[in-house]
Amino acid sequence: MAKDLVEFHNLKTYFHTSAGTVKAVDDVTFSIREGETLCVVGESGCGKSVTAMSLMRLIDTPLVEGKILFEGKDVLQLSKREMSQIRGNDISIIFQEPMSSLNPVLTIGEQIVEPLMLHMLLDRKEAKKRAIELISLVGIPRPEKIFDSYPHELSGGMRQRIMIAIALSCNPKLLIADEPTTALDVTIQAQILDLMRDIKDKFKTSIMLITHDLGVVAEMADYVIVMYAGKVIEEAHVLDLYKNPKHPYTQGLLKAKPIINQEQERLYSIPGQVPNPIELGDNCHFHERCAFCMNICREKQPPLRKDVNGHKVACWLYEEEGKAQ
């Protein structure tokens, strides 16, 4: 069995605002194994990206509690200098929007060369050669010409490939992909996913893939984490999750997915709204939208429990205390 590369232990990332405290990530625990793809799914605002940003130490102001172990070291306790050696070297990230992530006044080549010189200690000539190899690796033709191009001269799909090339430049052990196919057409999306799959197989890179798209999850994931209102509510192997979704929210997500060649009068949607993150209480955050809500759901948060198959779910439907209601 693969070893754990990253371990989140009771992570809490809160933002203090004038209106109150936003519990963006609230007591989250899970692992990312070596050489595997973990998909994190959930609605916008559920804490997916903040979890990744907490791992990268890219958030300065909120209260962060708990532990995030990378190869046994707690990244939350590392100095800025130690963290800068990990960030971009051992752990890389592909952001949602490549146009805003790439520097518009620097050439593509300069932006790939920089991490190579900083982390790999290559001289400029060696870094340029490696950068051109990386541009070619991600499937972009005429890499020498692209090396001297600016971001605005490339298409959205090419810019996303450049982001992947930059992320791969130092052979990271973990690649975080935050909605890497957002705003790309279906053909380009398929190419980007194929590229990420090839990278995983070729370099044995672990991937943390953050997405809304359950089709992408089915295609890419080994394991799946489902988040809702800052909490992990279900975790399972991808096949187990699709065959036997346990949490009512997960069931709703899968039911809401459109099915090709099947007549549907109206696409299913989960009733209600996501709760205000400032007003979250010590109860099941999904209870107001759940058809199976019981009294205990309004009073206590369900623990995240694991069954004999390793499938984890936080729901009172599967607890003796809940069944007794």
DSSP string, 217-237: HHHH-SEEEEEETTEEEEEEE
> The pTM is what?
0.90
Token pair for residue 136? 């070619």
Give the pLDDT of residue 242: 94
Give the pLDDT of residue 321: 54
Give the pLDDT of residue 193: 87
pLDDT in tens, 266-300: 788 889 998 988 988 899 999 999 999 999 999 99
Q: Which residue, 295, 156, 181, 211, is CA-closest to 37?
A: 211
Rounded CA separation 305/301 (Å): 12
Q: Which residue, 128, 200, 211, 216, is CA-closest to 164?
A: 200
Delineate the domains of the chain, giving CATH numbers in brackets: 4-90+170-259+267-323 (3.40.50.300), 98-169 (no CATH)
The answer to whether residue 251 scores a pLDDT higher than 90 is yes
pLDDT in tens, 39-95: 999 988 899 999 999 999 998 767 788 999 999 999 999 999 999 889 988 999 988
- Output phi, psi for 31, to 5 deg: -130, 155
Rounded CA separation 126/293 (Å): 61
- In the structure, what pLDDT confidence band is assigned to residue 27 with cuts at 50, 70 and 90? very high
* Number of residues assigned to the chain: 325
